[in-house]
Structure 1
Amino acid sequence: MAEGETNTGGERRGPAVPLPAAEAPFDAIGLARHLLRSIRSGALATLDPEDGTPFVSLVTIATDVDGTPLMLLSRLSAHTRNLLADPRASLLFSAGGKGDPLAHPRLTVTGRVTQTAEPRARARFVARHPKSKLYADFPDFGFFALEPGAGHLNGGFAKAAVLRADELRLDLAGAEGLVAGEAGAVEHMNADHADALALYAVASGAEPGPWRLTGLDPEGMDLLAADRTSRVLYPEPVREMGALRKVLVTMATEARRGEAKAE
């Protein structure tokens, strides 16, 4: 029900107040993290340092292992100049789709943007946006991370929730080995197990590929096929490489069984 509408008893009601994610009657945290991981572009809102006027622009987005949004920005752009003067910003992740745009889920993440020289940020961004490799090392470009302060999720009609920073990002404590081994695992899967990646994607509801792995984290995998993405969750979180290998083998076996039954 929208603001100002009446309920069945004829009483007017005001705007709905979003619930904390943990109290929402749907998986708000899961949906928010899915939007973070699966959407490759969004609206970046910054503040003009002259008079504080909001300035919104379209940017491409990737995520770090913990889900922190990453951007590759030119220092010649207005939004970058704004951020260097005032790091406060927000990013809108919108799933989009057919029909009413407001019927589809979207997530706004607010926080502060800082530049990062972390090699992993470059690797994960370029993997998510392969064409960016052409200009990623130009002197006027740099990688920036939005450190989340909070999130506002609208999951569609009558689905709204607010999220804390720790609900948006993954806790990587105990997953140091997985983070350190991510690049090697991604390279190995793409080189030797493209068939398994295709199985994971299709089993998660995606169309056939060819699919490539762009990143791994304790909750799942990020896959890319041209301009399409697929977020594949593990049956249960993993924290080290040995557990990851076992989970991936199990997932591939189950996907092949499901494929055989469908034939």
Structure 2
Amino acid sequence: MAELDRGPAAPLPAAQAPFDAVGLAKAVLRGTRAGALATLERDGGAPFASLVTVATDLDGAPLLLLSRLSAHTLNLEADPRCSLLLSPGGKGDPLAHPRLTVTGVAGRSAAPGIRARFLARHPKAALYADFPDFGFFRLAPEAGHLNGGFARAATLTAAELLTDLAGLDALAGSEAGAVAHMNQDHADAVALFATRLAGEAPGPWRLTGLDPEGIDLLAGDRTARVAFPERLSGPGALRPVLVALAAQARAAPAAGAD
């Protein structure tokens, strides 16, 4: 009875988890387009949760496009502390699928690249992104809590959630050109990235972004993530890695093939 009274064990730190907690957390973070944002009510009341669309910065920090007329925006302006629940879901029991809670502080940002990365992930948001009452926010993570399904839980530090950009400052400036080049000149390879490397169904797949650890793809409302074999060693490593991925995708069997 004493063992039962203690309740479930606390989540392990990601480094001690018996599964790839960091890899799974980053996959959820990079691949989920909407989440529940919890802010603190300005009058000291209960936490306030609302649905928001989400993209990620080059380092993986969540990006939000919020209206200053919304309650959650007013809450953040009074107290930037918040949490964001990301749950991509799937068939069957929703609690059987991975979900990630990111805690931290969120503030307005006009940093270069944020607008482009968000609109690449949410093209329809271009209709209202420039309205005067809308602005982009960047959530600076302080910690993460991953539930990877039954008996798979872990806590993560900010460093484990985010992608190291050291030595890759130039990637931010070249990302837009590289993404456009792949979509315009190598659409066949992009489609194979999604179907043969990420296991997704065929569709109008295109790249929406790339970072030192992988590429993000979109087809309608569907997303896919393809991780690089290892973190890019420098900006010059991007092209060889993409060429190698394209070769790998072409060599992989098509879905349903014998």
Same fold (TM over 0.5): yes
For the aligned residue pairs, the C-alpha RMSD in angstroms reads 1.7
Among all aligned residue pairs of Structure 1 and Structure 2, give the percentage whose two residues are the same amino acid.
Answer: 67
SS of 1:186's equivalent in the other structure is helix
SS in 2 for 1:156: coil
Q: For 1:49-81, what per-residue CA distance to the aligned partner results, in whole angstroms no more than 9, with x for missing partners?
A: 112321000000000000000000000000000
Alpha-carbon distance, 1:41 to partner:
0.1
Partner in structure 2 of residue 50 of structure 1: 43
How many residues end up aligned between the 2 structures?
256
- Say which of 159, 165, 179 aligns to 2:158: 165
Give the corresponding residue for 2:61: 68
Partner of 1:211: 205
1:149 to 142, 148, 156: 142
Aligned partner of residue 237 in structure 1, secondary structure? coil
Q: Secondary structure at the match of 2:44?
A: coil
C-alpha separation in 2, matches of 1:189 and 1:61? 23
Q: Tell me, yes or no, if the aligned pair for 1:93 and 1:108 is still in contact at 8 Å.
A: yes
Mapping 1:22-61, distance limit 5 Å: 22-61=15-54
Could you tell me how far 1:149 is from its partner in structure 2?
A: 0.6
Residue 257 of structure 1, aligned match among 247, 251, 254 = 251
Report if the CA contact (8 A) 2:81-2:104 is conserved: yes
Deviations 1:115-155 (A, max 9, x none): 00113110000000000001000000000011001000000
Partner residue in 2 for 1:91: 84
Q: 1:137 aligns with which of 120, 130, 136?
A: 130
Structure 1: 5+ residue runs without aligned partners? 1-5
Deviates more, 1:93-102 or 1:153-162: 93-102
Structure 2: gaps (5+ residues): none
Q: How far off is 1:258 after superposition?
A: 1.8
2:206 equivalent to 1:225: no
Aligned mates of 2:165, 2:54 — CA distance in 1: 21
For 1:240 and 1:179, how far apart are their aligned partners in 2?
12
Counterparts of 1:107 and 1:242, CA distance in 2: 32
Report runs of 4+ in structure 1 exceeding 3 Å deviation. Answer: 10-13, 259-263
In the alignment, what sits opposite 2:229? Answer: 235
* TM-score, length-scaled by structure 1: 0.93
1:132–1:260 Cα change, 3 Å: closer
- SS of structure 1 residue aligned to 2:215: strand
Q: TM-score, normalised by structure 2?
A: 0.95
How many angstroms apart in 2 are the aligned matches of 1:208 and 1:60? 24
